[in-house]
Structure 1
């Protein structure tokens, strides 16, 4: 697992077409903006884990 430090308004790229930008960091919480192809599903971790439990 890669761990990066980023400040608000900074971003990371995954490949050439996925951009994850830090929009806000406050009180230990982050707000992210994800720019990715529309056909790529994006799921929050807690939703993903719930789906795995239901299978």
Structure 2
């Protein structure tokens, strides 16, 4: 893991086409801005993990339903 220190208004690049900019630092939280191509999906990790869990549960439910038809 790369750990980097940035101040308000500073940014970092990921590759040549993704820029992460520090927009605001206040009361222990940081607001960031992300500029990236439209084809890149950007999700908060907790949202990604919830969707992943729900998809896993849906697959299990679908398998159980299919067993009922056999």
Normalising by the residue count of structure 2, what TM-score does the alignment of the two structures yield? 0.74
Structure 1 residue ranges (4+ consecutive) displaced by more than 6 angstroms after TM superposition: none
More strand by share: 1
Question: How many equivalent pairs are there?
Answer: 55
User: 2:32 matched to which residue of 1?
Assistant: 32
Runs of at least 5 residues in structure 2 that lack an aligned partner in the other structure: 57-70
Of structures 1 and 2, the larger Rg is shown by 2
Runs of at least 5 residues in structure 1 that lack an aligned partner in the other structure: none
Normalising by the residue count of structure 1, what TM-score does the alignment of the two structures yield? 0.93
Distance in 1 (CA, whole Å) between partners of 2:36 and 2:45 is 17
More helix by share: 2
Distance in 1 (CA, whole Å) between partners of 2:46 and 2:25 is 20
Distance in 2 (CA, whole Å) between partners of 1:30 and 1:9 is 12
Deviation at 1:52?
2.1
